[in-house]
Amino acid sequence: MAGKGWRRAFEDPIELPDGRVLVTLHDAASFITGLPKKEPALPEWQAAIEALILVVEHAGPTMFASVGVMRALDRGHVREFNTSRKDPHWGRRKLKRDQQ
């Protein structure tokens, strides 16, 4: 494990929308503290902050903190259903005798 505490690196760096990259837990904490005052008060950011602290204090897997930060970053994104995709055929298989 490279580094201890806040200097531990994420397994996969987190890319921010503005092009910056969060590599360590310290980078993520610095990013969160640099947000406007109302942002860190949102429940998604509170969960990300809690995950960061738990990972640092209890030497947990960095994946927990990574997921928390990514969920907070994507909180406004709504997934849309793509209706242009072909529907899978989940019905019964047609037998030759049933075709007329």
- Its pTM stands at 0.73
Q: What dihedral do alpha carbons 1, 24, 6, 30 form, nearest 10°?
A: 180
Buried b (16+ CB within 10 A) or exposed e, 34-49: eeeeeebeeebbeebb
Q: How confident is the model at residue 96 (pLDDT cuts 50, 70, 90)?
A: confident
pLDDT higher than threshold 80 for residue 67: yes
All residues at 6 or more sequence positions from 4 whose CB lies less than 8 Å from its CB, including other chains? none
DSSP symbol at 88: P
Say if residue 66 is exposed, middle or buried (CB neighbours under 10 Å; 0-12, 13-18, 19+).
Answer: buried
Cα 80 to Cα 52: distance, rounded to the nearest angstrom:
30
- pLDDT of 89 reads 66
pLDDT higher than threshold 50 for residue 90: yes
